[in-house]
Amino acid sequence: MTINEIPQSLIDRLRRARRVVFATGAGISAESGVPTFRGEGGIWNKMRPEELASVDGFMRNPNLVWEWYQHRRDLMSKVAPNPGHHAIAAFEKHFPDAVVITQNIDGLHRRAGSTRILELHGNISRNKCFDCGRLYEREIDPDAELPHCGCGGMIRPDVVWFGEMLPHDILQAAFEASEAAEVFLSVGTSAVVQPAASLPLVAARRGACLVEVNVEPTPLTPVADVFLQGKSGEILPLLLERFEARKRQIVAGDGTT
């Protein structure tokens, strides 16, 4: 995709917008090399993620679950935000009310500079108490005895496991942001995992311009006002460049407001 293939109507809609939502999924993280549950080779290929990323799995063998999460944290520590993450962070500065809603747990949006982030599935770098939910700020030593909270509960990764509900306050904030959005960009998500898959539809019903950025069509594509096919790390920087160029034109008096 080139700059000229981006519709001028989208640039104009973004230029007039104040409330913009970027909803991201696994696709944008994959472009940074974030590994999936099953990397190439390794002992974890012999185990089902549902047995590790679940309350039942944690209660059966918390040491094994922690070993797996330490393994995943080590892998994620070696990746960095890509141009798509950085473009979203740069876009945020242009809108009074921009929100990033992400299904990813890798923390790459924050590392790229985004500030208002709703992490639907938690963050792999954080820990919390299994019982009271209080965040646990100390470092975890995988070779030592597993830590406990002051209330006595075991410490676990602060992520949403299979069979668990998404955090109510985060989910409510995501729906409120989607309802208020003037432009909603769905980036690198399959658009099938609920309840996140409902967010762009909520935005569209409220009159938002719905934009999909993905390497291939999804169930959301027929509903989207604009479908930009390709990698987010290529398309979003182009979109940002076109948007900022148009704003400079307006400031210079070379275009209509």
Q: Provide the annotated active-site residues.
A: 121
| SS3 sequence of 173-202 | HHHHHHHHCCEEEEECCCCCCCCHHHHHHH
Scored b (16 or more CB within 10 A) or e, 196-207 reads bbebbebbbeee
- Which pair of structure tokens corresponds to residue 11? 């640039």
Distance CA(85)–CA(243), nearest Å, equals 16
Kindly report the backbone phi and psi dihedral angles of residue 179, in degrees, each rounded to the nearest multiple of 5, phi listed first: -65, -30
- Through-space distance between the first and last CA atoms of the chain, rounded to whole angstroms: 27
Sign of CA dihedral 134, 137, 143, 147: negative
Distance CA(49)–CA(79), nearest Å, equals 21
Distance CA(107)–CA(110), nearest Å, equals 6
Bridge partners, 49 (sequence order): none
Contacts of residue 9, Cβ cutoff 8 Å, sequence gap at least 6? 226
